[in-house]
Amino acid sequence: MKQIIKVFTALLLFNQFFFIHISAQSNIPNIQDGTWLGIIKRADGNEIPFNFTVQIKKGKQLLTILNASERLTVTEIELKDDSILIKLPFFASSLVVKRSSPTLLKGYYIKNYVTRKQIIPFTANFGVKSRFSVNQKPKHNLSGTWDVLFIGSNKDSTKAIGNFVQKNGKVTGSFLTPTGDYRYLEGILNGDTLKLSGFDGGFANLFTAIIKDDNTIQKADFYTGASGHESWSAVRNEHALLPDEYGHSHLKMGESKLDFKFKDTKGNWVSINDERYKNKVVIVQILGSWCPNCMDETAFLSDYYKKNKHRGVEIIGLAYERTEDFEISQKALSTFQQRFSVEYPFLITGVTASDPQRTEKTLPQIDHLDAFPTTLFLDKKGQVRKIHTGYDGPGTGKFYEAFKKEFEELVTSLLIEKD
């Protein structure tokens, strides 16, 4: 009888383990492990492609978006009703898909703007490792720096810089504008046809062009998001420069110091006049959780702060979200902080990025804040010494290296000044 009880108990324990194991496995979305080609399908017929990989680690399915050398890992993938919800790390965006087959996903790319949602059809095909097809050898070499001119639908023009690296027909690089860059772009030169794309949940971009010769790009188009479109052209110029990034925003006449006080993401009041910031070099970061360039700057500043806070450097982030709701902003910004292990405070201004009075309501000592990110440098006396507009991120290659060097030299010069 005791033997029968032992066998029965063993079978019961096995069944419980088997049920728990199967239940746990059933909660893992059934997306094939490996490389996929995702395609965002615009209404005008243009398609914005990007690659991603899927794998299971420690019983959890992970998705990694690939853009040139960048790897954005997505950890929130869950079954929701009969669909798979892929919550992208930032920018209040997601992919909602269904499995049409083991090798095909169909659904939508959804970007949440709080008061509205942008919904664009999306598909993904398994096993496709190149985002663009190639059937010709490249006729030119685009490696180098280019003067670029973007022309909008209203005929307004914007000067920019293109910086590319081409290896065996594969092209990587980015475009720099006076207010930021287009982050990591990847593509091909097929004969004389250039195609570049990038996707991070915030940006969904496609650049196409016909290369006239080694020094001229023409018949070029830029497609962004659901419907954005501009034309562009470029000529090679290894000495291309943008307007002075320190000359866009200024202190108003008679002003020298900032004066603000807002709650941080933990609900605590923080002021620039707090004891913590006295006799310190303070960097004020103007950001938003919706801003891809702010993501790159946050990664840089977080690392810089950890390595340099002992030198007498402090950083404060001032956030301008898409909503005035504190709790919604708090949640979005806390995710940002956790992602990059940010040790300095993010303050929630309660003013939206789209508010035309955002500068007057938050930093009335400044004439205007037109770009996200914008970075203000304060000396040990609390005086604003420099205001830097935009950001040259890691996707810009040599320009990013130049930015880091210039940043370090500026902060060091403020640190060694006598009180």
Q: What is the pLDDT of residue 113?
A: 86
Q: What integer is the mean pLDDT of 195-208?
A: 96
Split into its structural domains, the chain has a count of 4
Query: How high does pLDDT run on average in the chain?
Result: 92
Q: How confident is the model at residue 27 (pLDDT cuts 50, 70, 90)?
A: low
Structural contact between residues 36 and 128, judged by C-beta atoms closer than 8 angstroms = yes
- Select the more confidently predicted residue: 50 or 20: 50
Tokens of 306: 């950890």
Contacts of 107 by beta carbon, 8 Å cutoff, 6+ apart: 83, 84, 95, 96, 97, 98, 121, 122, 123
CATH of the domain at 290: 3.40.30.10
Contacts of 109 by beta carbon, 8 Å cutoff, 6+ apart: 40, 93, 94, 95, 119, 120, 121, 122, 204
Q: What is the pLDDT of residue 16?
A: 44
Structural contact between residues 359 and 249, judged by C-beta atoms closer than 8 angstroms = no
C-alpha gyration radius of the chain: 25
214 and 89 co-located in one domain: no
309 and 397 co-located in one domain: yes
382 and 265 co-located in one domain: yes
Using the 3D structure, point to which of 174, 203, 236 is the last residue of a domain.
Answer: 236
Q: What is the pLDDT of residue 22?
A: 37
Q: What is the pLDDT of residue 11?
A: 42
39 and 112 co-located in one domain: yes
205 and 284 co-located in one domain: no
> What's this model's pTM, rounded to 2 decimal places?
0.89
Residue environment code for 176-194, b if the CB has 16+ CB neighbours within 10 A, otherwise e: bbbbbbbbbbbbbbbbbbb
Tens of pLDDT along 153-163? 888 999 999 99
21 and 43 co-located in one domain: no
291 in any annotated domain: yes
How far apart are the C-alpha atoms of 187 and 169, rounded to whole Å? Answer: 9
71 and 191 co-located in one domain: no
Quote the domain boundaries for residue 116: 34-126
**Among candidates 72, 52, 73, which has minimal Cα distance to 62?**
73
255 in any annotated domain: no
Using the 3D structure, point to which of 176, 202, 236 is the last residue of a domain.
Answer: 236
CATH of the domain at 42: 2.40.128.120
Q: What integer is the mean pLDDT of 122-128?
A: 97
175 in any annotated domain: yes
Q: How confident is the model at residue 30 (pLDDT cuts 50, 70, 90)?
A: confident
∠ CA 198-83-97, rounded to 5°: 20
134 in any annotated domain: no
Tens of pLDDT along 226-247? 999 999 999 999 999 998 888 8
- What is the CB neighbour count within 10 angstroms for residue 327? 9
Tens of pLDDT along 362-385? 999 999 998 999 999 999 999 999
Tens of pLDDT along 80-107? 888 999 999 888 899 999 999 999 999 9
Q: How confident is the model at residue 17 (pLDDT cuts 50, 70, 90)?
A: very low
Whether 349 has a pLDDT exceeding 80, the answer reads yes
391 and 406 co-located in one domain: yes
How far apart are the C-alpha atoms of 379 and 189, rounded to whole Å? Answer: 47
206 and 299 co-located in one domain: no
Q: What is the pLDDT of residue 5?
A: 44
Tens of pLDDT along 247-305? 889 999 999 999 999 999 999 999 999 999 999 999 999 999 999 999 999 999 999 99
Whether 12 has a pLDDT exceeding 60, the answer reads no
Q: What integer is the mean pLDDT of 39-45?
A: 97
265 and 410 co-located in one domain: yes
The identity of residue 186, as a single letter, is: E
Q: How confident is the model at residue 45 (pLDDT cuts 50, 70, 90)?
A: very high
Whether 7 has a pLDDT exceeding 50, the answer reads no
242 in any annotated domain: no
230 and 283 co-located in one domain: no
256 in any annotated domain: no
CA separation, residue 8 to residues 1, 21, 22, 31 (Å): 11, 20, 21, 37
383 and 275 co-located in one domain: yes
Q: What is the pLDDT of residue 80?
A: 84
Structural contact between residues 72 and 87, judged by C-beta atoms closer than 8 angstroms = no
Give the position of tokens 């000495």: 239
